[in-house]
Structure 1
Amino acid sequence: MPNERLRDALMRNGLALDQVAKAVNVDPKTVERWITKGRLPYPKHRHKIAAMTREPESYLWPQAIDPERKAESAVAEVVRVFPHRNAIPAELWDRLIDEAEHNVDILVHAGLFLVERPTFVKDLARKAKAGATIRLLFGDPDCDSVALRSEEEQLGEGTLAARIRNALAFYRPLQDVDGVDMRFHHTTLYNSIFRFDDEMIVNTHVYGFQGAHAPSLYLRRLSAGDLFDTYSESVEAAWTRSRPATF
């Protein structure tokens, strides 16, 4: 079976077969077989290609990582657990935002707390202009899932929808910035997810509690782990079912 994940990763990074072959010291036809026939490279080659594509080994070759190692790596990906999102130090948010160079993905309902940081929107614009891909997913203020969450968090009818519209006013300057894409989702939001390159904050959602008072995980991606990628794939799933945000 072809390895479409590997093919896609190489294409996204502009890596030709002969470039990969030269980097790992094999014949280009060997690289081609890794893609078209799904052949499994030796570990030293997998590690090198994972680094070149900035993708974890477990994503490119899930069959190569035994379950026990995956479980151990998943534990190692958890850098810290915070009892509440508002317990996350401001310094950590500042560093994550400041150091992100390639990808910023944010999946929230409103995420108003982010724009309480005076330079947050300007930082996103600056990073997009430097070549980063910025994807912002907000809850659709007119959808049923937002109305239900407003009720479940005891916010009152229409409160969460109003918060989303309020947040969008802050993000309006990003509308025409190349590299920034803002969309509405209508999914059941089990977690708010904030990805900055290979680091991530996952704000879990607990029935009856507002997001600021729910636990959060600080994750750092490892090549052999799959916890980080589980949440990344959740963002992708929400993205595929989203629509352009309207202001």
Structure 2
Amino acid sequence: MTLAMPNERLRAVMASGGWTHASLADATGVDTKSVERWLNLGRTPRRATALQAAEVLGEDVHALWPALRQPRAARAVSPELVALYEQRADMPVSVLIDFMARARQDIDILVYAAVFLHEAYPRLNDLLRERAAEGCTVRIAVGDADSENVRQRGREEKFGHGIESRCRLALMHYQPLSGVSGIELRTHGTTLYNSLYRADDQLLVNAHVWGVNAYAAPVWHLRKSNDNGNLFKTYADSFDAVWETARPVTG
């Protein structure tokens, strides 16, 4: 059975332009329930309606609904790219939490600290325990506060020792999960080019930009594709590579 997936790209474009379900429905001549299905169930409208919606939203129709792309047509974006946030701060934390809540097989978190997760959603550990109890494999890798790469990141971001303190705080947040069946916590000292958040076939990539704090750097939302896509696999393999170098946290 294919699970309905929300159209996060459409949601982001509507939010940035101040569009509501009702206003977009009025502009395209459909009812609000249709717009809700486009957003929440990932439904693709008829081509004429999609073209009209894309025009009023000022977005490429194939970026909003890749399924409308004609065979052999030139591809402006990868079908794996669902949404692009200019800054992580633009992405509602609920997007990430919803991913994890729907996960049935895999949850992977690769960060230096990302303490914003626990600050914005204090029930995160409870959610991860629940997912593990339902059969998910949960892997969490946070930065080793004593590693040179973490210290270098602090210097590059002009964050000083703050990044090291946040790594320790992140470890404290996740420490109660150590020893929980289905959950493994590790620390790593790699040069982290991207923070990764995976839930089954969904992946959020928070790019790291030199001299810029992660919250001000872009995030792209990827969805694993059967269309010979390699973006998702590239980042998933990157997580696995870092995981192999990371040290288990015990006790």
Q: Which residue in 2 is equivalent to 1:205?
A: 208
Matches within 5 A, 1:135-174: 135-156=139-160, 158-174=161-177
Alignment of 1:1-247 (within 5 A): 75-116=78-119, 117-156=121-160, 158-223=161-226, 224-245=228-249
> Where does structure 2 lack aligned partners over 5 or more consecutive residues?
1-71
Query: Secondary structure of 1:101's match?
Result: coil
Deviation per residue, 1:89-132 (Å, 9 max, x gap): 23322321210111000100011011121211110011111110
Say which SS state the counterpart of residue 78 (structure 2) adopts: helix
Select between 228-237 and 163-172 the one with higher mean Cα deviation.
Answer: 163-172
User: Normalising by the residue count of structure 2, what TM-score does the alignment of the two structures yield?
Assistant: 0.67
> What amino acid sits opposite 2:115 in the alignment?
L
Please report how far the alpha carbon of residue 245 of structure 1 lies from its aligned counterpart in structure 2 after TM superposition. 2.7
Contact 1:77 1:227 in 2 (8 A): yes
Q: Check whether the contact 1:105–1:135 (CA below 8 A) recurs between aligned residues.
A: yes
Aligned-partner Cα distance in 2 for 1:106–1:197: 12
Q: Secondary structure at the match of 1:168?
A: helix
Match of 2:112, SS state, is: coil
Which amino acid is the alignment partner of residue 173 of structure 1?
P
Deviation for aligned residue 1:159: 1.6
Paired residue for 2:55?
Answer: none
CA distance in 2, matches of 1:96, 1:115: 15
Moved over 6 A (4+): none
Counterpart-to-counterpart distance in 1, 2:186 and 2:75: 35
Runs of 5+ in structure 1 lacking a partner? 1-68
Say whether the 8 Å CA contact 2:179–2:250 is kept in structure 1: no
CA-CA distance at 1:242 after TM superposition: 1.1
Counting helix residues as a fraction of each chain, which structure ranks higher? 1
SS at match of 2:117: helix
Match of residue 60 from structure 1: none
* Aligned residue number for residue 64 of structure 2: none
Separation in structure 2 between the aligned mates of residue 166 and residue 142 of structure 1, nearest angstrom? 13
Instruction: Give the Cα–Cα distance (whole angstroms) in 2 for the partners of residues 121 and 140 of structure 1.
Output: 20
State the aligned residue count: 178
Letter in structure 2 aligned against 1:122: D
State the alpha-carbon separation in 2 of the partners of residues 236 and 242 from structure 1.
Answer: 10
Q: Give the share of equivalent positions with the same residue, in percent.
A: 39
Q: What RMSD over aligned residues (CA atoms) do the two structures have, in Å?
A: 2.0
After superposing the two structures, state which structure 1 stretch, 195-204 or 82-91, moved more.
82-91
The 3-state SS of whatever aligns with 1:75 is: coil
TM (norm. structure 1) is 0.68
Instruction: Tell me if the contact between 2:205 and 2:221 (Cα under 8 Å) persists in the aligned partners.
Output: yes
Specify which structure has the bigger relative contact order, considering alpha-carbon pairs within 8 angstroms and separated by 6 or more residues.
1
* Superposed CA offset, 1:208-246 (max 9, x none): 100000001011110221100000000011011111136
Contact in 2 for aligned 1:73/1:226 (Cα 8 Å)? no
